[in-house]
Every structure is written in structure tokens, then in C-alpha cells.
Amino acid sequence: MEEKGWIRKAVLLFGLIFILMPGLSFAQQYPTKPINLIVTFAPGGTLDVATRMLAAKAEKFLGQPLVISNVGGGGGSVALGQVAKKRPDGYDITSCTSTGLIRIPQLRAVPYSLEDFVPIMHFAAVQSGVVVKSDSPYKTFKDLIEYARKNPGKVNYATSGAGSPMHIGMEYVADREGIHWTHVPYAGGAPGLAAVLGGHVTAMSDSTEWLPHVKEGSLRLIVTHGEKRMKIFPNVPTLRDLGYDFINETVFMLAVPKGTPPAIVKKLDESFHKAMDDPEFIRTIQTLEFDVA
């Protein structure tokens, strides 16, 4: 009887080993095919540009191509809702913002929560600010506020999504000042930028998609959202400088669906961190006035 019991235990043990072996082998061999990388905003924005450069450098460490697609909308929540439902096998990664992953689920109903993801790493920290066309009459943020006060509903502004800090910041100011301006959400920074350049909106409140246009003179930066003024624009005040208790500094992140094996997460983390050390990636981040996270 004792021998039969021992045999039964041995059979169960070996059965368990054989059940676990495919998963262990899978993690060790990963990746064996192209990896999908879903960017949570439209093409051409700062997150998209930084992600594409990082992915190009990471491919040689992963040994497989990264296939990038863009799913904009909802400040990143549309894409994150899709990725949360993907199989946790390491072949679907998202490049997103800390806003989309952490803040938006706290502010409104979305089809995911932070607990639906495993963060891989963060790779950049970016400021944001409000810009207007350089030929507009708004020389300062106070000018824009005063115009909105005298002309209720005539000022509209673009952001990359409802519920984003850039949206919340503008509405916080409106509430403080007792004014009304109209929010126009876009699927990313690039379409919002096109809207303000084309005169379809009065202003844009977003991350540094606007940077080259401010530098060359077609847009004017009138306020920033960071804790400190941007070094490149020392004469542009922050919201805090103007007496508003609001700070936003967004972090760009990579994440996978929960349940992804730790060995795969580690492989991705190591590969992308090596990519971050590439001089070309660092130059790209610095050109965009980001901080390497």
C-alpha cells in the first residue's frame, strides 16, 4: 500500500512537471515571432516619435521585430482597454502615458484598471504647456483668460484626450477664474497640433508636440505645467508661478497585460533598458526636451 501511494505521488509530481515545462520553455525561448507594440495616441505625436526610436533600438536585443500600431482616443484609454484583454504572452505590449494608465481610471469609467497591467519600465518624462498661434492677440496666459471672460464660449482648446491632465488643468483654471472655454479632445497630440496651426482651435494644451513650432515662431508658448520653468523657455511662467496650484509632468511607459510571465517581463525590461543607452535615442529625447526616465 505504501509503495502504491509513493507511485501515485510520483506520477502526480511528474505530471505537474510536464504541465509546467511548456510554460518554462516558452519563457526561455521568447520571443520567437514579431511583437506587437500598441501606441496609445495617434501617429506623429511625442509618445509615438519616442516609442518608434526606442523600438528601433530594442529590436536587436530582442532578436525580433516590433510591429508598431497606433490606437488613439480617450487620452489613451481606448488602446489600453484593448491591450488589457490581450493574451499575456509577451506578444502585445503597450507604450502609454502614466496619465492613461494610472490617472484616467481614477477619474472616469474605463474598461481597465492599473491592476490589469504589469509595468515593464518608464523611458521618458515630459512637460506640457499651452500654446497659441504667434499672430494671435494673446501674448500671455492672462490675455487668453481675460478674452474668455469677456467672450464666454468663444475660446476653444485642443488636448490629446478628455480626462488628461492637460484637460484637467485648463478646466481647473476656468473654474478658478469663473470663465468658460470649450474643450476639443483629439486622438493624440499631432491632430491637436494641426488644429491649432490651422486656426481651428484657439489654443492647445498638451505635451511638447508644439516645441519645433514654438522654436521657429509659428506658435507662442504662454504657460507650462511643470514644477519648474522649462530651461529652454525661462521667461514662460508655470501655472504655479501664476498662482494656480497645478503641476503636470507626464511619464511615458511600457506595459503588458497582467499574467505575463516574470521571465518575459524581465527580458523586455533588459532589452528596452539597453536600447535607452543608445546615443541616437538619447539625442532624440533631448531634442524633444524630455528627461530620460
Q: Are 199 and 135 in contact (CB under 8 A)?
A: no
Question: Is residue 87 in some structural domain?
Answer: yes
Average pLDDT, stretch 168-187?
Answer: 96
For a pLDDT cut of 70, what percent of the chain falls above it? 90
Query: Which CATH number does the domain housing residue 54 bear?
Result: 3.40.190.150
Same domain, 101 and 117: yes
Same domain, 35 and 119: yes
Q: According to the model, what pLDDT value does residue 38 have? A: 99
Q: What range defines the domain where residue 183 resides?
A: 128-224
CA distance 33 to 239: 47
Average pLDDT, stretch 152-181?
Answer: 94
Q: According to the model, what pLDDT value does residue 26 have? A: 52
Domain count, the chain: 2
Q: Are 40 and 161 in contact (CB under 8 A)?
A: no
Same domain, 147 and 187: yes
Q: Residue 287: pLDDT band by 50, 70, 90 thresholds? A: confident
Q: How long a stretch of residues is the chain? A: 293
The answer on pLDDT for 20 being more than 60 is: no
Last residue of a domain, one of 183, 205, 224: 224
Question: Is residue 95 in some structural domain?
Answer: yes
Which of 160-164, 170-174, 263-267 has the least mean pLDDT? 160-164
Q: According to the model, what pLDDT value does residue 25 have? A: 53
Burial annotation 253-280 (CB, 10 A radius, 16+ → b, else e): bbbbbeebbeebbebbeebbeebbebee
The answer on pLDDT for 12 being more than 60 is: no
Same domain, 255 and 118: yes
Which of 23-27, 164-168, 253-257 has the least mean pLDDT? 23-27
Q: Is 233 exposed, middle or buried (0-12, 13-18, 19+ CB in 10 A)?
A: middle
Q: What is the mean pLDDT of the chain?
A: 90
Q: Residue 93: which of 45, 43, 59, 125 has the closest Cα? A: 59
For a pLDDT cut of 90, what percent of the chain falls above it? 75
Note the pLDDT tens digit of each residue in 78-92. Answer: 999 999 999 999 999
Same domain, 122 and 36: yes
Same domain, 114 and 138: no
> Between 165-177 and 141-150, two packed helices, what is the crossing angle to 10 degrees?
60
Same domain, 208 and 66: no
Query: Which CATH number does the domain housing residue 162 bear?
Result: 3.40.190.10
Same domain, 144 and 103: no
Question: Is residue 77 in some structural domain?
Answer: yes
Q: According to the model, what pLDDT value does residue 164 have? A: 84
Same domain, 77 and 94: yes
Same domain, 103 and 90: yes
Note the pLDDT tens digit of each residue in 185-205. Answer: 998 889 999 999 999 999 999
Q: Residue 293: pLDDT band by 50, 70, 90 thresholds? A: low
Q: According to the model, what pLDDT value does residue 226 have? A: 92
Same domain, 91 and 155: no
Distance of CA 218 to the CA centre of its chain: 26
Average pLDDT, stretch 31-56?
Answer: 95
Same domain, 89 and 154: no
Question: Is residue 149 in some structural domain?
Answer: yes
The string of DSSP codes covering the chain is -HHHHHHHHHHHHHHHHHHHHHHHHHHHH--SS-EEEEESS-TTSHHHHHHHHHHHHHHHHHTS-EEEEE---GGGHHHHHHHTTS-SSSSEEEEEEHIIIIIHHHHS--S--GGGEEEEEEEEEE-EEEEEETTSS--SHHHHHHHHHHSTT--EEEESSTTSHHHHHHHHHHHHHT---EEEE-SSHHHHHHHHHTTSSSEEEEEGGGHHHHHHTSEEEEEE-SSS--TT-TTSPBTTTTT------EEEEEEEETT--HHHHHHHHHHHHHHHT-HHHHHHHHHTTPBP-
The C-alpha cell at 25 is: 520553455
Question: Is residue 211 in some structural domain?
Answer: yes
Q: Residue 74: which of 128, 46, 112 has the closest Cα? A: 112
Question: Is residue 3 in some structural domain?
Answer: no
φ and ψ of 66, to 5 deg: -105, 120
Q: According to the model, what pLDDT value does residue 36 have? A: 99
Q: According to the model, what pLDDT value does residue 222 have? A: 99
Question: Is residue 245 in some structural domain?
Answer: no
Note the pLDDT tens digit of each residue in 101-146. Answer: 998 898 889 999 999 999 999 999 888 999 999 999 999 999 999 9
Question: Is residue 154 in some structural domain?
Answer: yes
